[in-house]
């Protein structure tokens, strides 16, 4: 689990969330802080934000599906870890960032053990959120992409989906050039063309 998330090199004017994170749930018992954080997240046009002030409501709305969960460890009416466990039980689980005021070592350990991706101190800056998400490992992204398919389709279909996603990403990163995309992926240009015909 990341603690703090160094955002020293991320200027406020350029802060944005990765496109994969389009739905955020904020859980904070401090109503003023909740409204402020929701407003800042909503400044990004591609992000839809839901804000709740208690754990029971958070667990009700989690089933709507979120890419990001920001949760204050001092949330009311149930332990924050209970909300975190509910988040990870979703078919597609969100990235989870915990926040609070100077937690003790035992709390940080419990958060990390539960699978929380990062912890930031309040007041939270958008640059911290951006830094935390930018440091998520590739395994997290792969699990998010594949989880909806596991148990529902065969391995061959999963492989096809992964290949198509890799080709789309390579084409986006190379401005649509099939030759450059093939070099980026370490495959031949005919292979790229063949995969595109199947898509």
The string of pLDDT tens digits covering residues 155-186 is 777 777 777 777 877 888 888 888 888 887 77
What's the mean pLDDT when you consider all of the chain? 78
Residue 76 buriedness (CB in 10 A; 0-12 / 13-18 / 19+)? middle
Give the model's confidence band at 55: pLDDT under 50 very low, under 70 low, under 90 confident, else very high: very high
pLDDT digits (tens, 9 = 90+) for 16-34: 555 567 889 999 999 999 9
Q: E-strand spans in 38-145?
A: 48-52, 68-72, 95-100, 118-121
Structural domain harbouring 68: 2-136
The winner for highest mean pLDDT among 33-42, 84-93, 140-149, 175-184 is: 33-42
pLDDT digits (tens, 9 = 90+) for 70-80: 999 988 888 88
At residue 50, φ and ψ (nearest 5 deg) are -120, 130
**SS3 per residue for 29-41:** CCHHHHHHHHHHH
**CATH classification at residue 167:** 1.10.10
Q: Is 143 within a domain? A: no
Same domain, 48 and 22: yes
Q: Scan for tokens 């754990």, then name that residue.
A: 55
Does the CA dihedral 27-28-29-34 come out positive or negative? negative
Instruction: Decide if pLDDT at 196 tops 80.
Output: no
Among 136, 158, 179, give the residue marking a domain's end.
Answer: 136
Contacts of residue 22, Cβ cutoff 8 Å, sequence gap at least 6: 46, 47, 48, 67
Question: For position 47, what pLDDT does the model report?
Answer: 82
**CATH classification at residue 114:** 3.40.50.2300
């Amino acid at each position: 689990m990341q603690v703090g998330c160094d955002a020293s090199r991320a200027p406020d004017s350029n802060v944005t969330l990765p496109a994969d994170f389009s739905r955020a749930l904020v859980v904070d018992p401090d109503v003023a802080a909740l409204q402020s954080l929701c407003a800042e997240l909503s400044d990004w046009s591609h992000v839809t934000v839901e804000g709740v002030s208690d754990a029971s409501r958070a667990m009700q709305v989690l089933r709507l599906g979120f890419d990001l969960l920001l949760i204050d460890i001092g949330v009311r009416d149930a332990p924050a870890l209970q909300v975190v466990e509910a988040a990870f039980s979703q078919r597609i689980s969100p990235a989870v960032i915990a926040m609070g005021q100077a937690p003790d070592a035992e709390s940080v350990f419990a958060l990390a053990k539960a699978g929380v991706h990062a912890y930031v101190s309040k007041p939270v800056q958008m640059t911290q959120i951006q830094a935390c998400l930018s440091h998520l490992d590739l395994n997290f992204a792969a699990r998010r992409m594949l989880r909806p398919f596991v148990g529902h389709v065969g391995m061959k279909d999963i492989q096809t989906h992964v290949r198509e996603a890799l080709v789309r990403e390579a084409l986006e990163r190379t401005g649509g050039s099939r030759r450059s995309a093939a070099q980026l992926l370490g495959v031949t240009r005919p292979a790229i063309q063949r995969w595109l015909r199947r898509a």
